[in-house]
Amino acid sequence: MLHQMRFTAKKLAKRLTLIAPLVYRQHRPLAKFRYCELDGPFAPPPVAPAFDDSGWKTIRAGDYWGRRAANFVLRSQFEIPPDWDAEIPVALLLPLGEAGDFSHPEALLYLNGTPWAACDRHHQEIMLPPDLKRGRMHNLALHGWVGLMGNQAEGQWGNVALRGNPNAKLLMRQCALVQLEPPTRNFIALARVALGIADNLDDNNPSRAHLYNALDAAFKALDTREPFDERFYGSVPAAYETLRQGVARSGAPLDVDITAVGHAHIDVAWLWTLGQTRQKAGRSFYNVIRLMEQFPEFKFTQSQPRLYEFVRQDYPALFATIKQRVAENRWEPIGGMWVEADCNISGGESLARQFLLGRNYFRRHFGPKAESSVLWLPDVFGYAWNLPQLIREAGLEYFFTIKIGWNEYNRFPCDSFWWQGLDGTRVLTHFSPTHENGAHAATYNAKASPSEALNTWTNFQQKDGGAPGQTPPLLMSFGYGDGGGGPTRQMLENIRE
């Protein structure tokens, strides 16, 4: 009650907003971009450093640019100041605009002519290689797609202001070269998680008040007098330690294991053409490789050999790196089928060929034991009664989806269970119980937020594990075998045991 009277949660949220920009210790704006539209997704992008773009249109912060479904290249240059500390990470901040649908606009970033990583509205910060030379000019090229400008799925999710407007454009925000302050980012990350947990606990849970007290004490230890300078940054380590100790005193964690596995759910052809799918696969997979470099413990699961083949054809160096990560057991091929196939109108022969093409591709390119033995169909409606037989005949053991839960009125009584087909064949099946933003349906877009982690456990229906004294582990797919020991397969094996 005391924290309600003092508006503690709202106060802490405001303070987090206040210090969020301070993760960038240095900030050097990019002066301008040169902009050119391409004829289509297959037009060769002019990304070479020596290319003459002097005749292109100039785009600066505050300018409107682009148009619906445009393929484009943006080019610029930047220099890392020689007096910036070489031990502190440097990144490009690229808020290109808001198309109002999915993650668009999105673009693959070429650094001095070499593909490096991708930016979109969810990935606006691109970490630069630590060995990038200082005091010299570097070339930046962004090859991308604007998106549908709010006109997705007949407008059901798009931006209302953009919907149906053929003249809509994107607003370019201030792009910049930035230098990070890791201690400040670490403090903000811990504070956001602690606040998110506290906000989602019941008033009668004593951990809630302990977490609010810990956060309040930590922010009191921060020096937030303006202007924000060395006084602020000097106060961060003590504030972080105060918060860490306060969280430790707030109570023991739940005796539940949640395994977070990265995954990129890419529709091969839905609201974009196959040409855009090819580029989207390359952009997504480059970002995964960069994340693996930044976080060595990061594991990633990816389905659909069709996407891998696009990457093998279009980005051979990237495909070679993926093969290396698979061999290191950090990248998990999964799914069994060539694509995440429709199971409502497909016949048995079609589904069998999906398995034949998909499994053969993974074995040929990644080895006979690289693929996890899980039929991965998170976003497919309808499941044929002969699917368990086909799964086992294809050499797989498990089935994962969320779509059974997409019913507003009827809740399937199990999240982990044995599915028995018409012929008696059984496969262990798991439905993700993670809900997004209070929706009635489960999601594969799990954001690893405290609210989603908590509702994953709250919604899971087999908490007893099927036997006295057993607490089952859970699987969340964050949106990013046969003996290969991938994290998803291991999670399902734990459920079976």
Radius of gyration of the chain from its Cα atoms, rounded to whole angstroms? 24
CA atoms within 13 A on the CB side of 396: 31
Q: How many contiguous H segments (helices) and E segments (strands) does the chain have?
A: 12, 20
DSSP letter at 436? Answer: S
Structure tokens at 12: 């802490």
Q: Please, which residues bridge with residue 86 across strands?
A: none
**C-beta separation of 261 from 297 below 8 A:** no
Question: How far apart are the C-alpha atoms of 354 and 348, rounded to whole Å?
Answer: 10
Buried/exposed code over 399-422 (b: 16+ C-beta within 10 A; e: otherwise) = bbbbbbbeeeeeeeeebbbebebe
**Torsion angles phi and psi, residue 431, rounded to 5:** -105, 130
Question: How far apart are the C-alpha atoms of 105 and 102, rounded to whole Å?
Answer: 9
Return the residue matching tokens 């997979």: 285
How would you classify residue 73: left for phi > 0, otherwise alpha for psi between -120 and 50, otherwise beta?
Answer: beta
β-strands 170-171, 176-180: how paired? unpaired
**Torsion angles phi and psi, residue 359, rounded to 5:** -70, -40
DSSP 3-state of 296: coil
Question: How far apart are the C-alpha atoms of 99 and 66, rounded to whole Å?
Answer: 10
Question: Kind and range of the H or E element at 263?
Answer: strand 258-263
Question: How far apart are the C-alpha atoms of 493 and 491, rounded to whole Å?
Answer: 5
Structure tokens at 107: 């673009």
How many Cβ atoms sit within 10 Å of the Cβ of residue 31?
12
The residues assigned a catalytic role are 379
Tell me how far the alpha carbon of residue 447 is from its chain's centroid.
Answer: 7
